[in-house]
Amino acid sequence: MDSDIDLQPLMARYQQGDYDAATALVNRLSPQLHRFFLAQFVSRSHADDLLQETWLRIHEVRHTYRRGQPVLPWLYAIARNIRVDHYRKASRAKGREDRLDERSDIPEAPPGRSAQTPDLEALLADLPVSQREVIAMLKVSGMSLEEVARATSSTVGSVKQKAHRAYDKLRKGLAGMGMASVRRGGLS
Amino acid sequence: MRDRDIDDILKQAAQAKQDVDPALLNRISMSIGSSLQPVRALPPAWILASGLALICGTVAFAGAMLLGPHGVQKMSAVEIGLIFSVLSIFVWLAAMLCVAEAIPGSRRPIAPWLLVASGCIGLAGAFGLLFHDYRTGRFVSQGLPCLNAGLIHALPACLAAWLFLRRGLAVNPVAAGLAKGTLAGLAGVTMLELHCPNFETLHLMVWHIAVIPISGAAGALAAYLVAHNTRALSRRQKTRSRSR
């Protein structure tokens, strides 16, 4: 997870046409963006496509970043926009708008991961899109409530409420998966 | 299970991350690098908002001068002070909101729908406080020309606002359209307050204020249609380029 303060000078240099800064941003921010897309139930290949598309859009509109402003909310607002477009396209193409939360698209856990280690996508499976998005930004990207509120064009109160509801659902889900005992058994 | 336990589980799950293919990162860097040129960043929000407020004021003032500033000539100092103060506050809020909607990740000063509602309520409150003539003679025949004039003046204000913010990126086009439509509607109402000498309370509360939600809704609808058509066009272009 990157500190936003470290990213701001890189963004400024990127706007000035510095290739090294652009590459540094791509390398530092892509893993968390990719993870953000994976947490929204897209396959790995779709996440790759979305990541590319996001960077192309970021490149087109890099002048809209204002110096001194936090980078992550700006970046995630764009990524979220790309994801919403993808969601629309997928809904239209498959004609099953209300069934996008089908599990068939979930990437499998990579080899080598412990069977007891919780998989983020599986953990978030039962959450509605808006709650999943908030949890992904807060926990995967390490953004603050204020930053998530900016990225999602909502209020801090609304983000808190979504996170709270998501935690309630996660608590029930984890209890169902027997995670409480798993934690006691040595995961923590 | 406590929230902290869930935090730990989520952190653990997030840390077990799948790395992004380095070849993909390289491809992204290369494609960005091939068109990397210095860009001029957008000016600070307050400069953009001032520009929008200026556009709004200019359209309203020019329209009122063209039609005759009969309304403001008939108003008392208190009426001028209160009505135009309320209008200025909402114009500034709408301008700040338009800027926030055009820059991804900005802090919204107010939700767009709340701006429309509070603008209507605020102006209705000011009119209700200042004017107590409750006659309704020729209510519709006098009201429709005012509504038309307000909306006609909102149109150039909306177009100018759209041109002014064309370098921005509206991640939510409908909200951005609603904000711009509301700002334009406020320009229309400002023009009506400068021009219209009819101070019947209901005339002001219905026909003048109606410009704001109608203009806002028209802005949102126009933005939706433009975004929808743009998406359809880009889909068609992608399909064509793939088939080639």
Whether A99 has a pLDDT exceeding 70, the answer reads no
**Residue range(s) defining the domain that contains residue A127:** 4-95+117-187
State pLDDT tens for residues A55-98.
Answer: 999 999 999 998 888 899 999 999 998 888 877 777 666 655 45
The DSSP code sequence of B36-62 is ----PPPPPHHHHHHHHHHHHHHHHHH
Higher per-residue confidence, B225 vs A185: B225
Both tokens assigned to B200? 């019947």
Of B14, B41, B104, the CB nearest to A15: B41
Per-residue confidence at A140, pLDDT binned at 50, 70, 90? Answer: confident
Window 3-22 of A, Cβ < 8 Å to B:
15-17, 19, 22
The mean predicted confidence, pLDDT, of chain B is 90
Whether A3 has a pLDDT exceeding 70, the answer reads no
* Domain annotation covers residue A112: no
- What's the mean pLDDT in B116-135? 93
Both tokens assigned to A88? 């629309």
Q: Residue B244: its pLDDT value, please?
A: 62
Of B12, B28, B101, the CB nearest to A55: B28
- What's the mean pLDDT in A92-121? 52
Q: Residue B17: its pLDDT value, please?
A: 58
Partner B contacted by A173 (CB < 8 A): no
- What's the mean pLDDT in B120-139? 91
Per-residue confidence at A102, pLDDT binned at 50, 70, 90? Answer: very low
pTM: 0.84
The DSSP code sequence of A73-113 is HHHHHHHHHHHHHHHHHHHHHHT-GGGTT-GGGSPPPPTT-
Whether A103 has a pLDDT exceeding 90, the answer reads no
Of A48, A78, A174, the CB nearest to B6: A174
* Domain annotation covers residue A103: no
Per-residue confidence at B13, pLDDT binned at 50, 70, 90? Answer: confident
Window 79-98 of A, Cβ < 8 Å to B:
80-81, 85, 88-89
Write phi, then psi, for B191 (nearest 5 degrees): -60, -40
Per-residue confidence at A104, pLDDT binned at 50, 70, 90? Answer: very low
Task: Please report residues of B whose CB lies closer than 8 A to that of A173.
Answer: none
Residue B210 gets which letter from DSSP?
Answer: T
* Domain annotation covers residue A78: yes
Per-residue confidence at A175, pLDDT binned at 50, 70, 90? Answer: confident
* Domain annotation covers residue A175: yes
Q: Residue A188: its pLDDT value, please?
A: 31
Whether B126 has a pLDDT exceeding 70, the answer reads yes
Q: Residue B96: its pLDDT value, please?
A: 96
The CATH number of residue A15's host domain is 1.10.1740.10
Q: Residue A109: its pLDDT value, please?
A: 45
Q: Which of A157-166, B30-39, B94-103 has the lowest mean pLDDT?
A: B30-39
* Domain annotation covers residue A55: yes
Find where tokens 């902290």 sit: B4
Q: Residue B58: its pLDDT value, please?
A: 96
User: Are residues A63 and B40, on separate chains, in Cβ contact within 8 Å?
Assistant: yes
The number of domains in chain A is: 1
Cross-strand pairs, B200:
B133
Find where tokens 């999602």 sit: A152
* Domain annotation covers residue A159: yes
C-alpha B148, offset from chain centre: 20
* Domain annotation covers residue A183: yes
Spatial distance between the Cα atoms of A39 and A136, rounded to a whole number of angstroms: 7
Whether B208 has a pLDDT exceeding 70, the answer reads yes
Per-residue confidence at B196, pLDDT binned at 50, 70, 90? Answer: very high
Q: Which of A37-46, A53-62, A137-146, B211-220 has the lowest mean pLDDT?
A: A37-46
User: With contact defined as beta carbons under 8 Å apart, do B176 and B98 qualify?
Assistant: yes
Q: Residue B242: its pLDDT value, please?
A: 65
Per-residue confidence at A114, pLDDT binned at 50, 70, 90? Answer: very low
Nearest CA in chain B to A89: B235
* Domain annotation covers residue A40: yes
Write phi, then psi, for B200 (nearest 5 degrees): -65, 130
